[in-house]
Structure 1
Amino acid sequence: MNTTPVASVHGHKCVLVGAGGHAKVVQELALLGGAEILGVCDPKFSTTGEQYWNGLKVLGGDEFLDETSPESVLLLNGIGMMPGNTIREKAYDRFVSMGFRFPALVHPFAWCSPLASIADGVQLMAGVVVQPGATIGKNSIVNTRSSVDHDSRIGAHCHLAPGATVCGDVQLGNSTFVGAGATIVQAVNVAPNQFIKAGSLTRSDIH
């Protein structure tokens, strides 16, 4: 894993993938980092004929990227994640297999310890805290005002919804969704593909 702060998109040409609510947050996050966003792609644009979305030029559906060199742009994953929905994960894997890269994005009002590790495609939103020794797997979202404490390992393709709290030494399996305001206490192990309800308290392992 590598730590790739939001400054890594400064001056880079980027394409936003997806055009929904989460994409609006990612768009602003990338702009705060100085990215040059060329436009947005979403399969729905293949039929709607829209020219602009949220101030961005509509580049079309995913077919635009089929004709784009992976070396020429960075991709911004604007597809959100909900329990049981794998669209974000599949899009990430598909475009990475084509040679594209999704840089990690860290909001300027987030705190990520220099002793933590975040992988490509990770998105740390406003108010997030990631403490020393924590690891965040590829394409995971740590949403607004969530926290990951020391030495916890968040798997790939996870989503910590706004206000979620992950205490120290937690192991969170791949593709797990932690609902808004949920708390996972220290040293708990959570298997992959789990759904932890909003506002819940998890005190024991989930297999």
Structure 2
Amino acid sequence: MTGSGRDVSLLPFVILGAGGHAKVLLALLQSMGAVVKGVCDPGLAQSGIECWRGVRVLGGDEALDRLDPTQVSLVNGLGQVIGSDRRMQVFLELTAKGFTFAPLVHSAAWIDSTVVLEAGAQVMAGAVIQPDSVIGANTIINTGARIDHDCIIASHVHIAPAAVLCGGVKVATRAFVGAGSTTLQGLSIGESAIVAAGSTLVRDLQAGHLVVSSPMRIRESKFKVQSKRS
């Protein structure tokens, strides 16, 4: 629910940004059969590009001033970058102006009917979210992530591709859970904490802290590659 009193999922969508994350979201919208009104991206606009991946370029950020907030639903196409609050700031600024961000779910994701998706939550292809979990506003559940039962994920979080949260995990706002990581059941991840890619979290992670896996070691193999003789 967005609290707007109207079903924003039925409105045409406008994508913010045209980077890699925006590409994935366009594919998500296409999987839903959604109507995409256009994309706003300063770089495309400055380059004079009028069409991006078959979608009309509406302009840069100033194009939003020409839109009626009650007639479109925005899609936050900015990826979440560690150490940057830009994605969150865009969401909060435009929400304050009356725009809405619908929760989005790829047609190839699986979500139990008891799951709560707040405004602007994005669930990518192959993701699984199990019963009684909550996904906060503007949070990304990326490709192939697994969220088990009773997980509570706050706003502005990124659960990266193939990350696994076992049952009852709590994730605070602005946390980043890296690709291919595993968080064991019942643990808590604090505000702005980072679980590095490939890590296994076995105890609570305090706010602002980082957990990493053992350093990767690369050494010469004992098996030599022999070139073929002509």
TM-score, normalisation: structure 2? 0.84
Does 2:23 match 1:19? no
- Partner of 1:44: helix, strand, or coil? helix
Q: What is the alpha-carbon root mean square deviation over aligned residues?
A: 1.5
Q: Equivalents in 2 of 1:72, 1:113: separation in Å?
A: 29
1:142 deviates by: 0.4
Q: What is the correspondence of 1:147-166 to structure 2 with a 5 Å cutoff?
A: 147-166=146-165
Does 2:186 match 1:170?
Answer: no
Deviating runs (4+, > 4 A) in structure 1?
Answer: none
Corresponding position: 1:202 with 2:193: no
- Pairs within 5 Å for 1:53-68: 53-68=52-67
Query: Which residue is equivalent to 2:143?
Result: 144
Percent identity over the alignment?
A: 41
Q: Is the 8 A contact 2:8 2:73 kept in 1?
A: no
Query: Aligned partners of 1:172, 1:145: CA distance in 2, in Å?
Result: 18
Q: Mark the structure with the bigger radius of gyration.
A: 2
Give SS of 1:75's match.
strand
Could you list the runs of 5+ residues in structure 1 that have no partner in the other structure? none
Q: CA deviation at 1:14?
A: 1.3
How far apart are residue 52 of structure 1 and its match?
1.4
In the TM superposition, residue 144 of structure 1 has moved relative to its aligned partner by 0.7
Report how many aligned residue pairs link the two structures.
202
Q: Residue type of the partner of 2:9?
A: V
Structure 1 residue 155: deviation in Å?
A: 0.9
Contact 1:132 1:149 in 2 (8 A): yes
Query: Does the residue aligned with 2:79 lie in a helix, a strand or coil?
Result: coil
TM-score by length of 1: 0.93
Give the alignment of 1:12-91 within 5 angstroms: 12-91=11-90
Aligned amino acid, residue 54 of structure 1: R
Distance 2:45 2:19 in 1: 15
**Take 2:59 and 2:109, find their aligned partners in 1: how far apart are those partners?**
32
Distance 1:150 1:57 in 2: 40
**SS of match in other structure, 1:16:** strand
Q: Deviations over 1:64-97 (max 9, x none)?
A: 1122110111111111112112111111111111
Conserved in 2, the CA contact under 8 Å of 1:9 and 1:33? no
| Larger relative contact order (Cα-Cα within 8 Å, sequence gap ≥ 6) | 1
Shift of 1:44: 2.1
Cα distance in 2 for residues equivalent to 1:182 and 1:63: 39
